[in-house]
């Protein structure tokens, strides 16, 4: 049984931070270079239309692109949208609104794998646009981080206690969370320095583990002590030295 969970890590450093740290990419950028150009055909009304676009990868959906807009007139009732491709995107979502910078439900126009789309007014709008990245944490990476933390805990605490712990002491859970979070931050790009607070948390966790392994910090009684005192035979049946034995040189004293 792991000493901490994904939920523990989310509470410690936040869902979005954990998602960014545990994905193979630091982030997926929102689409750029978007344009909106009215054209003939379609059934859009003669008003201004506003659009934003998001990119979707296997990690989640990005924040909105910069807003683009155009106004239909008597001759043009469709709007052509175009944007630059995002290398890691598997699809794109297009959101439309009649109010500038307001993309609440309903405003989802469509999802497409292309980098261009013509809005003719034929589709019904659905859900709202995200206001922040919606990447999900990588579960397999988190599992590996927790295992790495717990292995380090067992290697030190196991010098004194039976591991893995059947009943997890609170201090062991806290150490596991801090170590796993530190290992997550180690996944940051090499040109980004380790945050000081996480280096401090790691150092303190390791200090606690060293104290536990040296019996300077004792765990609750629910943790089983694995080492035992050396056996000393104190039985009275064991032959004792006789000071009256003539064959014993000590009898001369």
Q: Are 34 and 65 in contact (CB under 8 A)?
A: yes
Which residues are paired to 91 by β-bridges?
56
CA-to-CA dists, residue 181 to 6, 136, 160, angstroms: 10, 16, 25
Q: Could you report the per-residue pLDDT of 161-212, keeping only the tens digit for each?
A: 999 999 999 999 999 999 999 999 998 877 678 889 999 999 999 999 999 9
Q: Could you report the per-residue pLDDT of 82-140, keeping only the tens digit for each?
A: 999 998 889 999 999 999 999 999 999 999 999 999 999 999 999 988 877 667 788 99
The least confident of 8-17, 23-32, 235-244 is 235-244
Q: What integer pLDDT is reported at residue 88 of this predicted model?
A: 80
DSSP 69-124: EEE--SS--EEEEE-PPPTT-SEEEEEEESSTT--PSS-EEEEESSSEEEE-S-SP
User: Could you tell me which residues come within 8 angstroms of residue 13 by beta carbon, excluding any fewer than 6 positions away?
Assistant: 21, 181, 184
Classify each residue of 16-54 as buried b or exposed e, where b means 16 or more C-beta atoms within 10 Å of its C-beta.
Answer: bbbbbbbbeeebbbbbeebebebbeebebeeeebbbbbb
Query: Which of 126, 125, 123 has its CA nearest to residue 42?
Result: 123
Q: Could you report the per-residue pLDDT of 236-251, keeping only the tens digit for each?
A: 444 544 545 555 554 4
Q: What integer pLDDT is reported at residue 243 of this predicted model?
A: 46
φ and ψ at 71, to 5 degrees?
Answer: -120, 125
**Whether the predicted pLDDT of 7 surpasses 60:** yes
Helix (H, G, I), strand (E, B) or coil at 195: coil
Q: What integer pLDDT is reported at residue 24 of this predicted model?
A: 63
């Amino acid at each position: 049984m792991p000493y901490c969970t994904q939920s523990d890590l989310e509470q410690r450093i936040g869902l979005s931070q954990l998602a960014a740290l545990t994905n193979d990419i630091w982030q997926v950028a929102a689409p750029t270079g978007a344009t909106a150009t009215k054209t003939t055909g379609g059934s859009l009304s003669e008003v201004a239309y506003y659009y934003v676009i998001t990119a979707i990868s296997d990690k989640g959906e990005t924040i909105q692109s910069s807003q683009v807009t155009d106004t239909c007139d008597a001759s043009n009732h469709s709007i052509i949208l175009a944007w630059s491709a995002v290398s890691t995107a598997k699809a794109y979502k297009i959101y439309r609104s009649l109010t500038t910078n307001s993309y609440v439900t309903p405003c989802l126009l469509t999802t497409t794998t292309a980098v261009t789309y013509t809005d003719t007014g034929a589709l019904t709008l659905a859900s709202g646009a995200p206001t922040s990245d919606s990447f999900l944490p990588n579960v397999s990476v988190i599992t590996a981080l927790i295992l790495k933390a717990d292995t380090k805990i067992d290697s030190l605490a196991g010098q004194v206690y039976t591991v893995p712990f059947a009943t997890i002491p609170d201090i062991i859970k806290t150490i596991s969370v801090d170590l796993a979070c530190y290992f997550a931050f180690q996944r940051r790009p090499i040109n980004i320095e380790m945050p000081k607070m996480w280096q401090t948390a790691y150092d303190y966790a390791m200090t606690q583990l060293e104290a536990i392994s040296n019996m300077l910090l004792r765990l609750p009684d629910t943790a089983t002590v694995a080492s035992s005192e050396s056996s000393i035979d104190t039985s009275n049946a064991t032959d004792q030295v006789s000071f009256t034995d003539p064959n014993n040189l000590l009898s001369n004293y």
